[in-house]
Chains A and B, each alone.
Chain A
Amino acid sequence: MMDGMEDVLPSETNGTKSGRSDTVDLNDSTLQVDISDALSEREKVKFTVHTKTTLPDYAKPEFSVVRQHEEFIWLHDRFDENEDYAGYIIPPPPPRPDFDASREKLQKLGEGEGSMTKEEFSKMKQELEAEYLATFKKTVAMHEVFLTRLAQHTVFRNDHNFKVFLEYEQDLSVRTKNKKEKVEGLFKSFNKSTDEILLAATQKDVDDYFEREKTFLLEYHMAIKDATTKADKMTQAHKSVADSYIQLSSGLSQLGTIEGPRLEKFINKVADTFEKARKVEGRVSSDEDLKLSDTLRYYVRDGSAAKDLLYRRLRCLANYEQANKNLDRARAKNKDVHAPVDVADAELAQQNACEKFEHISNKAKEELNDLKARRVTAFKKNLIELAELELKHAKAQAQLLKSCLQSLPEE
């Protein structure tokens, strides 16, 4: 369906796919996409996708549409299925907005309401709301990153489906797959993975480079997935520590009122300090989450996409070799001139396969290198930011504790 794209392909090698820059200078046309607003309803989140463009293809220079998560997935699938994009790493789709954890916590809090004081309860509620908000912001950010990557990709941005996604004012009526389709989808992915395994076992890659890449990617993928899970656990634990400070702080203030004048001031100061410390700890936790876990997670997904790319290439290679075989067979069978058609067909098939393969290989090489570079940059940036933030928070806490200790009146 994207025949037009083929023409576009060769010319646009200006691959400035820098992470988050808003504009890619390309033939004076810009395409800026962002999510300007988001609304969270009971089960769904509605994103307002806002586009600013100078591309002639679009009807208006600036417009917005409302999209839901499923429509993002639909878009991704369209890219994924498109054979023309076989040589590219398709940007990984954003994860489902998941508020379950927050909701569960909120519910637990509601149940335990009786056992805490009003202040404690309101504080914890505030914390939970903040958490909810943070999750919300994250999911918006992920959807946005997905779109931005597409918009900046020299090839993808011109995709017709993408245009439809951005422009079509009404609902794309992407119904979630019904049972049959879900089952189909399951089969497909099952097939795919068995194929992958089969290929991995049988198909020898002609190119060493790709062979190495494959091994590397596999290993890396596993390691990074593991690291992500652990990082998540760590930030969770950090958050729990911060939250438990709340109870400590309020317990202390209550103790203060009982103790009476002698200890009250002292205790109140301490309780206050704990409260402030908690906020800092909470921020440490969320920063860790943002910088560390998210980076890791993103590259898990990107790595996954890269793996997909390699798979496609391998598949293509298999097809190519198959086509070669067919051609040989056809040629062998058709020594006589009677069935040139078969040979011709086979030849054509072989040629196509060959082209495809070459094309994919080249593109893949580029993409993989690109991925590496992107990864390194992203990690660098985020690790630096992580370290600086951790440092800042630790300093803040140390300072807080120091001033508390100094201010405690000596008796």
Chain B
Amino acid sequence: MRLYLIVSASPSLCPGDNPQATHLPRAWAPLARPPPHGSRLTADLFSTNPGALKSPVSEQTTTPEDQRSPEDPLTPPPPAASLTPEPHNPGTPPDLFESVAEGPVVVQGGSPKLSSVPLDLPAGGNGGEGKQQEQEEPQGPVEAALSIEGEGEGDVTSSDLIPDPSSNPVPPPALLHDPPNFLGDTDTTEVSLDDGKTKAEGDGGDEFIQITVSDPQKIGDGMSSYMAYKVTTKTNVSYFRKKHWSVMRRFSDFLGLHRKLVEKHLHSGRVIPPAPEKSAIGTTKIKLGSDKNADSGSLDFIERRRAALERYMNRTSTHPTLRADPDFREFVELDAELPRATQTSALSSAGVLRLLNRVGETVNKMTFKMDESDQWFEERTQQIESLDAQLRKLHASMERLVNYRRELALSTAAFAKATAVLSSVEEHSSLSRALHQLSESTERTQTIHHAQADADFYVLSENTKDYIQLISAVKDVFHERVKTFQTWQHAQITLAKKREAKAKAELAGRMDKVQQAQEEVTEWEGKVERSQEEFERISRAIKKEMEQFDVMRVKDFRDMVIKYLEDLMTSQQQIIKVWETFIPEAKAIS
């Protein structure tokens, strides 16, 4: 909690200020007021440069990643810029955030206020380290900014400075460059501030990470059994310890990861890829069934789930910010069993709470009509809605296709058998032979059809389903924004009331009351400003995120369709071969 005290958001500080110049004063100014909202503080925390975070962090950091910081090229200021707590910044203790923030770390990056805070704060040790760190990262302008800050920090040295809020990864300079960068999450060293668009993709250059989920195994027996999957990661991203390794994870681990990511990042306006759904029936069947009796139904279910988990992991890892998230990293790297994410269970208290929350949110979504001033959001929201509806329809027709094709495979198999019988009964020998050939050919086409139905399913239908879920994750993010808008509105209303109260008090000449009212007014003014900034920040974050999302979505869709068409084509070619071998047989009937 110390952190809070030190870093308070001071409305007076303006972003434009030369960070280095005013470090010291700014650093101290905030001390005066206790931050109104704990969360706000954390936001401020973020604004500090990562370097600053280092010291306190290192103490508190539990993740091994911190140690890696020196090598971590990713610790770039940009990430710092990114408000997300995850900053690769080893310095940034995600844990720090978690300990500090109540729940979601509000990433505030952009707000000017934030800038004020950070730089100075780094504890001496931090400062030093921070500096060092910055020096290690020779990245563009932001970098420079950082280093400036670093220096600033150095000056400040404030050993006493609180360890800080520097958790605020966003160096003030970042503020200058504001939007592009912070969501920049680019692990890459790009610091180009304005061209956030392409860089923001973060899939920078030659970064490569690929995750496969395989070997589903049933561990244990009966109701306490569960499915474990092997998660294999291949990557050349530097902040991972190895290039290629595997760990075992169970299904609830995946859900736990998702939940954590949502908690941490949803508020910053990120789209978190949704995790595969729980299915009580499928799971129970698996739990209760024995390995030997695994019928095709449950095998299918396992396969579906495995494929869904793989897609989920890959989508999450493509997102640069999420990829660098310590929880995510721990998930893919930690060799031991992860602590049970008990709260993912539907029946746990947390689960019930979540359910209630969700219900509340749904009602909220339906009732609150936001006054949309931003044209962009207006359009996007509509587009998202219609995309959602259309994708659902498309998905339904895809499922129909899958079903029909499966039926086709089955009936073709039945026909093949009947033809075989016919051929054995037929007396005319060459006709019998031809019929036998026909039976075999049909058998082969049946296999082809079956494989094609699988392709229909896994390539087309499941992917579309994923997209529908992604779209609802997007809707969630949009809703977050609406919520911050609501907060802002509420703050404004309250401010007005407080002002009124103050005016009344003044009129009534009650000096004591006036004093109090004044305090309240100031307090609420601060709140209004902060919530407005929050709103704007999240709006910007979403815009950025959406760009990235769009690009990714388009690419994914194209890939999916192309792959499907290729599969279809292969099937047809195989069918061609089958019939080509049959024709001479048919002609041979004498």
Contacts and interface: CB of A to CB of B under 8 A. Distances in A.
Contact of B589 (A219, A266, A379): A379
Interface stretch (A229-237, A342-350, A358-366): A229-237
A223 B421 contact: yes
Nearest to B550: A262
A380 B408 contact: no
A61 interface: no
A220 B586 CA distance: 20
A387 B573 contact: no
Task: Report whether over half of chain A's contact residues are helix, strand or loop; otherwise say mixed.
Answer: helix
Contact of B407 (A237, A388, A401, A402): A237
Interface string B371-406: 000000000000100110011011001101100110
Interface in A382-411: 383-384, 386-388, 390-391, 394-395, 397-398, 401-402, 404-405, 408, 411
A391 B579 contact: yes
B208 to A, nearest CB: 20
A383 B441 CA distance: 12
A236 B407 CA distance: 10
Interface of B: 383, 386-387, 390-391, 393-394, 397-398, 400-401, 404-405, 407-408, 410-412, 414-415, 417-419, 421-422, 425-428, 431, 434-435, 438, 550, 554-555, 557-558, 561-562, 565-566, 568-569, 572-573, 575-576, 579-580, 582-583, 586-587, 589
A384 B438 CA distance: 11
Nearest to B394: A251
Nearest to A277: B568
A379 B434 contact: yes
A376 interface: yes
A230 B394 contact: no
A240 interface: yes
Contacts of B557: 263
Interface string A247-262: 1100110110011101
A391 B583 CA distance: 9
A181 B334 CA distance: 85
Given A259-B387, A273-B565, A384 B587 contact: yes
Given A241-B405, A251-B390, A227 B415 contact: yes
A270 B565 contact: yes
A277 B565 CA distance: 11
B589 A270 contact: no
Nearest to B391: A255
Given A394-B572, A397-B569, 20 more contacts: A220-B426, A223-B418, A223-B421, A223-B425, A231-B418, A240-B404, A244-B400, A254-B390, A372-B427, A375-B428, A375-B431, A379-B434, A380-B589, A384-B583, A384-B586, A391-B580, A391-B583, A401-B565, A402-B569, A411-B558
Contacts of A234: 408, 411-412, 414-415
Interface string A2-25: 000000000000000000000000
26 contacts: A226-B421, A226-B422, A229-B418, A230-B418, A233-B411, A234-B415, A241-B401, A241-B408, A245-B401, A247-B400, A251-B390, A254-B390, A258-B383, A262-B554, A263-B557, A266-B558, A379-B589, A383-B438, A383-B586, A384-B586, A384-B587, A390-B579, A391-B576, A401-B565, A401-B566, A411-B555
Nearest to B574: A394
A199 interface: no
A387 B397 contact: no
| Count class of interface residues, chain A | 35 or more
A216 B422 CA distance: 11
A394 B554 contact: no
B511 to A, nearest CB: 62
Considering the complex of A and B, which 9 residue pairs feature the smallest CB-CB distances, nearest first? Answer: A247-B397, A401-B569, A237-B408, A251-B394, A398-B572, A230-B415, A380-B589, A227-B418, A383-B586
Given A227-B415, A258-B387, A383-B589, A263 B583 contact: no
A238 interface: yes
Contacts of B397: 244, 247-248, 251
B243 to A, nearest CB: 30
A86 B11 CA distance: 110
Interface string A280-311: 00000000000000000000000000000000
A263 to B, nearest CB: 6
Given A237-B407, A240-B404, A244-B400, A387 B586 contact: yes
Given A379-B434, A395-B576, A398-B569, A372 B561 contact: no
Nearest to A251: B394
B439 to A, nearest CB: 9
Contacts of B394: 248, 251-252, 255
B412 A380 contact: no
B422 A223 contact: yes
A75 interface: no
A396 to B, nearest CB: 9
A230 B404 contact: no
Contacts of B587: 380, 384
A109 interface: no
Nearest to A409: B558
A244 B453 CA distance: 13
Nearest to B576: A394
B589 A263 contact: no
Nearest to A389: B579
A258 B572 contact: no
Contacts of B390: 251, 254-255, 258
